[in-house]
Amino acid sequence: MTPTSLPGVLIVEPKIYGDDRGFFLETYHLERFRDLGIPDLFVQDNQSRSQRGVLRGLHFQEPAQQGKLVRCSRGAIFDVAVDIRVGSPDFSKWFAIELSDKDQRMLWVPPGFAHGFLALTDDCDVTYKCTAFYDPPSEQGIIWNDPDVGIRWPIAEPKLSTKDAVAPRLKDAPVLPSYRAG
C-alpha cells in the first residue's frame, strides 16, 4: 500500500505469483485490506469495458456516498481521484495514476472524492468494488476538463457520454454538506 498526495487515497500493489503458465493474485482480502485502512464492507462490484479514448467521469454520489476500489483487469487506464470535500485543505486537488493489467495495481478512492478514468487501450476492462449501492437519485458529476481542477489528461478530445459531456464545473456542482470538514 502506498499513500498518495491526497490523504485517504491509496495505491494497492498486490503480490503477483507468476510462472510460465500465467499468474495468480488476490484482488481482495478482508483482513489485509482492513489493516491498510480500506473499509471491510463492499456491497456491489461493477465492471465496464471501454475503447481507447473513452473517458468516464468524474462521478460521485451524494448523499449515498461511495468508496471505490478500482482495478484495470484488461488494458490500461489513466485513473483520477478529485477531493470534493468542501472545507478540506485538498479541496479540488487531484491525483492520477496509470492502472493496467501489467502490474495489477488498484486505487482506493474513499467517499468524498470524485472518480473518473480514461481508457488508454482498446477493450479496456475496469472493475471496482463499492462501499454503497448505486443510487440513481444520488448520482452526481463534475465536467472532466474543469479549469478550476486542472487535470492534465493525456488526451484533448475524449469520447464522452452525453451525461458526462454536460456535467457542471465543481464550483457549480450541488452543495455537498456531508463532505464539509470539521
**At 30, is the secondary structure helix, strand, or coil?**
helix
Closest to 139 in 3D by CA, of 174, 110, 169, 109: 174
Q: Which of the residues are catalytic?
A: 59, 128
The owner of cell 502490474 is 103
From the CB of residue 142, how many other CB atoms can be counted at a distance below 10 Å?
26
Q: Is residue 21 exposed (0-12), middle (13-18) or buried (19+ Cβ within 10 Å)? A: exposed
